Amino acid sequence: MKTLKFKLYKHKRNRYLKRTINAAGVIYNHCIALHRRYYRMWGKHLNCAKLQAHIAKLRKRNLFWQMVGSQAVQDICQRIEKAYQLFFKHHKQGVKPPGFKKVKKYKSFTLKQAGYKFLGGNRVKVGNRVYQYWNSREIEGTVKTLTIKRTALGELLMIVVVDDGTEPEIRSETGNIAGFDFGLKTFLTCSDGTQIESPQFFKQGLSAIQKACKLLSRKQKGSKRREQARKHLCRQYEKIANQRRDWFWKLAHELTDRFDVLCFETLNLKGMQRLWGRKISDLAFGEFIQILEWVARKKHKQVVFIDRWYPSSKTCSHCGHVLESLDLLVREWRCPSCQSVNGRDENAARNIQIVGASTIGLGDVRQAMPAISA
């Protein structure tokens, strides 16, 4: 599977897509309201199939809703269902149920097999209108989904997921496997003890963003200058995002040169955000992972993810002992069972490596077992 991103040409016609996204946002909120009402009345979770059937019926009588293709509507229900399932499973860890979203800020809709058609060249038909996009690379393979997404600047992106039918073939050139732990101060800690610091421009970019934020907050609501300031802020965001992306590509190449198998924890962005505050979205771990997976596939390397609920920080990577709790501020701890001293991030990275290795059938499984069952 490959994810390709294209920018749509600016055109008056794009307003139909934007309106569709708005309609998707309205439907989303309606679904959330239904979920809550259903729970209040029956004390039960409204199941996805029931919701889909009900929404499909409502859609027939609502012209605005019909802007959103029937598959995209199903996708909205499924997204909500996924969010609820995550909530049921992990609410003890602080996962919240899905909530209402501002329609203006609602970002995208997704189509599966129907509702769009590629017309060749750079033209794509979505609904019953034809749009053009910057044809930056070929779309090869079967298209699985097509997502139209609106950015903060009001531009539209088309995101295409294709199945190119190639199973990644893993070559073992360096024979190296490594685990990585994401951090705030240190971007990545590797299980071999090396650390990759976040580059300085992250910070510089952040202060430019803060400045732009302040400017924006001083402008009167609804004024032209406020809109200008908002766009300025968006551009600052874009600038730092571009710099960051460059750095991500370089880093991804560096790491895949050094290692054959790279293990990570499945990202829990929402949880990290709560733990560390807003800053997390500025670090864009998720984007880095996407780039890394892309590069790894090209170079026949493997990226492995381990369960995000695995206590990688609290487990001793030497003996498998699991601590009751470990404060965020503790950078180093002594294992009560085997007395070895564990640096927080490095220990986590080593555990991620151990579990990653065992999930793909390399390495010592025994060491990781007690940690999983705990």
Judged by the rule CB under 5 A, the positions of this chain that interact with Zn ion are: 316, 318-319, 321, 335, 337-338
- Judged on CB neighbours under 10 Å (0-12, 13-18, 19+), 142 is exposed
Residue 144 or 318 with smaller CB distance to Zn ion: 318
Smallest separation (angstroms) from Zn ion to the CB of 371: 11
Smallest separation (angstroms) from Zn ion to the CB of 352: 16
CA torsion 245-251-252-254 (nearest 10°) is: 150
Residue 107 or 321 with smaller CB distance to Zn ion: 321
Q: Do residues 178 and 40 make contact, with C-beta atoms less than 8 angstroms apart? A: no
Residue 279 or 334 with smaller CB distance to Zn ion: 334
Smallest separation (angstroms) from Zn ion to the CB of 339: 7
Smallest separation (angstroms) from Zn ion to the CB of 335: 3
Instruction: Give the helix/strand (H/E) hosting 349.
Output: helix 344-359
Residue 56 or 323 with smaller CB distance to Zn ion: 323
Exposed e or buried b per residue across 223-253, where buried means at least 16 C-beta atoms within 10 angstroms of its C-beta: eeebeebbeebbebbeebeeebeebbeebbe
Beta strand 129-132 pairing with 123-126: antiparallel
Smallest separation (angstroms) from Zn ion to the CB of 321: 4
CB atoms within 10 A of CB 75: 21
Exposed e or buried b per residue across 204-216, where buried means at least 16 C-beta atoms within 10 angstroms of its C-beta: ebeebbeebeebb
Collapsing DSSP states into helix, strand and coil, what is residue 318?
A: coil
Residue 363 or 370 with smaller CB distance to Zn ion: 370
Instruction: Give the helix/strand (H/E) hosting 209.
Output: helix 200-218
Smallest separation (angstroms) from Zn ion to the CB of 334: 9
Smallest separation (angstroms) from Zn ion to the CB of 182: 23
Smallest separation (angstroms) from Zn ion to the CB of 307: 21
Residue 24 or 335 with smaller CB distance to Zn ion: 335
Longest CA span, the chain: 68
Residue 272 or 349 with smaller CB distance to Zn ion: 349
Distance of CA 322 to the CA centre of its chain: 29
Cα separation, 169 vs 171, whole angstroms? 6
Residue 26 or 319 with smaller CB distance to Zn ion: 319
Collapsing DSSP states into helix, strand and coil, what is residue 8?
A: strand
**Of 180, 120, 198, nearest in space to 346 by CA:** 180
